[in-house]
Structure 1
Amino acid sequence: MPNIANLLKEEIARVARKEVRAETKGLKNAIAPYRAQIADLKRRTRELELQIKRLGRVTAKVAAAAPGEEPDQRHLRFSAKGLATQRRRLGLSAQAFGALIGASGQSVYKWEEGKTRPRAKHLPAIAALRSIGKKEAAARLAALGK
């Protein structure tokens, strides 16, 4: 005659396994699409990284072969706060400062506020004004007729 305790343990274990299987079946079904999405994202990431690498090479070649551009011009920095300080140091209005660099006064205000950045053609002129004083700035304005 079988032992009732052993039969009870076996039955409880069997029912528990059945319940666990039922609970994990839903999770297994949910995991499959996630794995497919992860694989797709990994593939797309790899492709985008390759594109970035290719574009980096192309832009490096283009930057190295920029025609008519001096090496110093490519590395000019711009700071909105520095521009405002420079204009005040020279004692110029935004309109006058703009006339010296070939831009409008409104553009100078927007550059100083940080709303926009000067175009590459204005950066050398801005950099050139860093080394002049008030008298030279006034003389240049007079030469421009402003």
Structure 2
Amino acid sequence: MTTFADSLKKEIARVARKEMREEMGALRKTSLIQRAEIAALKKQLKAVQSQVSKMGRARPEPARTAAPAASSASVVLARGKPGRKVVFTAERLKIQRARLGLTQEQMARLLGVSSLSIWKWESGGATPRASRVPKILQLLALGKREALARVEPEAPPPA
């Protein structure tokens, strides 16, 4: 009976090795795909990190630059609540001025600057000084009637 028992054990081991080989092949294939995906993600992460570091180095200091690009024309100020930020952008100034129904000249009179300054701020050719930003943000927070009421007294009487 030992030959039958030995034959049975050998057959069971052979069948087990065959099934394990198939399962191990599937696991190896899955592992290979996952490793390739991880390598691709690591490559993307490295590229994004290098872009972030380049952007951090290329960002101009507000005190040193005369006229930053239109896309980087934003000044961030802290509000009363901690963690809240108010952002000045050229697009926001233009949209809010249009919403208030003011011309560039009227907006300039309200802020005490030239209409050319308003045009440059809206086009992104220049950014307002940090000392002017709070006044601009206050003006942008006004309603249409209040803004027009402030413009009217400053308008010269008709001759």
TM-score, normalised relative to structure 2: 0.44
Which is richer in helix? 1
TM-score, normalised relative to structure 1: 0.46
